Amino acid sequence: MSKSVRKKHVDDSLAGKLWSHLIKHHPFPDKDHKIEKSYVLKKILRIEYDSSAKKRLGNLSSTLYDDILKHYFRERYEQDEVYRNELELSVLRRFKLDELYYQKSNAVRNKLLKNPDSARKYQQLTNLESNLYYYSAMEKMIDRVPGLHAYNANLENYYRIAKLRFQCEIENRNNIIQSNTTGNDENNDPAGTSSAGHLLEEMYLGVLELNRSYDSEQYDALKERFLQEWKVFSEDDSLIFLSYLINFSTKRFKKGSNEDLREAFELYKFGVESALLIESNIITPDNFRNAVFSACGVKEFDWAEGFTTNYGRFLPASIQEGIINLAKARIAFGRKDFMSATELTVQDAQVGFTNKLLAKFILTKAYYELGTTKIAQLHSHVKSFESFLNRDGLHHENTKVACKNFLRIVKLLIREKNKPTKEQIDSKLAAYSLIVGKEWLKEKIAALPE
C-alpha cells in the first residue's frame, strides 16, 4: 500500500474521526497551541500498520485508546469482561504522559488554586499551561474503564503524577532555582508559607537528582529528610516522595542489594502506619501485595499476617478475596507450610498479569517443596505456566525471559531421564543473567545429591 493511499485510508477512519472530535469538543486556546493534524495521522499510521503495534500499545496517547484497543482486540474485548478490565488496566499503566496524569495533577492544581500562594508555588514548579496544554484535548478515561476508580487513588498513579511534575520541572528548574536564591518569595508569601514552599521545591529537586544520579548517599539524605518533614507536605506530595523512595530501594534490591528489601519493607510499613497508602478507605492491590511480599522477603511473617488481617478490608471488593489469598499463600510458603500455600494459590483465579504470575510462581515452588507427592501436578503446572507466558503479549519481555529461565532450571531439577549433574545445573543457572527465584534455585541445587 502506497503512502498516499495509506494516509487517505487512515484519514477516513481513525484520524478523521479523532480530529473532528478534538476540534469539536476541545478547541485550542490560540494559534501557538495548535496540534497539527499530521501529528495525529503519524500516530495512527504507525499503530495501524506497524507489525509490532500490539507490543507498543503503551506508546499511544489516550485519545486513541478506545479505537486502537477495540481494533486489535475487538472480539475478546467485547465478550470477556475480566480480560477487558485486565487489558485496559495493562494498557493504561503503560501510558507515559497520558490524560490520567493530567487529570489527577489538574485536580490537585485546582484544589491548590484556592490558595493563591500554594497555587503560585505549584504553577512555578509544573507550569502546566505552557507544557501540557494539549492534554486538555483528551477525554476523561476514568468514567470509561470499569473499576478504574479503585486503581486511580494509588501509589502507582501518584508515581505517575511525580513523573509528570518532573517532566515539567526539567523545563522550569532554572526558574525555580533562581527564585530560591533571589529572596523575593519572602516578600510575597505570608509568614510560614515560604519555608514550606522552599522545602517542597527542594524535595522535588532532590528526587529528580536522585533519579539522575542513582546515588545511595542522596537516597539516605532524602529519606531522612522526608521522614522528618513529611507532615509539612500535602498527602499528595508525601505519597509521591514515598513512592520514589520505595521505587529506588526496590530497584537496588532487584540489582542484588538484599539489604534494600528491608528498606522497601520499612517504607511500606511507614506508609501503612502513616495511612499514606490508604486513600478514601482504599489500599490498592499493588501496594497491598508489595507490602506483604517485602515483609515475607525479610521474614517479617507476623507483621505480614497482621497486615493482611487488618487491612485486607481496604482492598477493592471485586478482587479482595483473591489478593488476600495470594498474600496468605506467600506467608504460608515463607513459613514452610507448603500444602496451605498450594491450596490458597489455586483457590481463586487471580485478576491481572502480575497477580497471576506471582500465584503461578508460588505454586511452582510449593509443588517442588512437597516432593514426590506433587510431582505429577508440578509437571503439569510447569507446562501451564509456560503457556501463560507465551500467550500474554502485553508485558515486559524481560519479565517473561526471567520466568522462562526459572522454569528451565526447574525442569532440569525434576527431569527423571538423562538428568544433568548437579554441577551442570548450577552452571546453567549461572549462565542466565535474567532469572527470578535465583536464591531459591541455588538452595535446591545445593540440596541435590552429589
Yes or no: say if 350 and 326 are a contact pair by the CB < 8 Å rule.
yes
**DSSP characters over 408-420:** HHHHHHH--SSPP
Domain layout of the chain by residue ranges: 1-92, 97-282
- Closest CA relative to residue 289, chosen from 188, 358, 196: 358
- Torsion sign over Cα 94, 100, 102, 106: negative
Measured distance CA(251)–CA(225) in Å, rounded = 21
All three cell numbers of 316: 477493592
Backbone φ and ψ for 279, nearest 5 degrees, come out as -125, 130
Cβ density class 138-176: b for 16+ within 10 Å, e for less: bbebeeebeebebbbbbbbbbbbbbbbbbebbeebbeeb
What is the CA angle 148-150-155, rounded to 5? 105
Which residue shows C-alpha cell 523545563? 171
**In this predicted structure, what is the pLDDT of residue 378?**
94
Residue 264 CB: number of other CB atoms within 10 A? 25
pLDDT at 370: 94
Q: Indicate the angle between helix axes 438-446 and 397-414, nearest 10 degrees.
A: 10
Phi, psi of 282 (to 5 degrees): -125, 130
CB atoms within 10 A of CB 3: 8
Q: Where are the alpha helices (DSSP H) in 94-154?
A: 99-112, 116-126, 128-131, 148-152
Distance CA(288)–CA(277), nearest Å, equals 9
Using alpha carbons only, give the angle 269, 272, 277 rounded to the nearest 5 degrees: 125
End-to-end CA distance of the chain: 63
Per-residue cell: 342: 498450594
Q: Are 197 and 237 in contact (CB under 8 A)?
A: no
- State the residue for C-alpha cell 509521591: 240
| CA distance linking residue 447 with residue 450, whole number of Å | 9
**Bridge-partner residues for 290, per DSSP?**
none
How far is Cα 162 from Cα 140, in angstroms, rounded to an integer? 20
pLDDT at site 193:
39
- What Å distances lie between residue 396 and 55, 172, 322, 364, 434, CA to CA? 9, 32, 23, 21, 12
- What pLDDT, on a 0 to 100 scale, did the predictor assign at position 43? 42
Cell representation of residue 395: 508485558
Dist. CA 328–CA 366, nearest whole Å: 13
pTM of the complete model beyond 0.85:
no
pLDDT at 74: 45
For position 349, what pLDDT does the model report?
Answer: 66
Q: Residue 163: which of 219, 97, 95, 237 has the closest Cα?
A: 97
pLDDT of residue 108: 44
SS3 call for 282: strand
Place of cell 493530567: 102
Residues of the chain with pLDDT under 50: 1-77, 80, 82-113, 115-194, 394
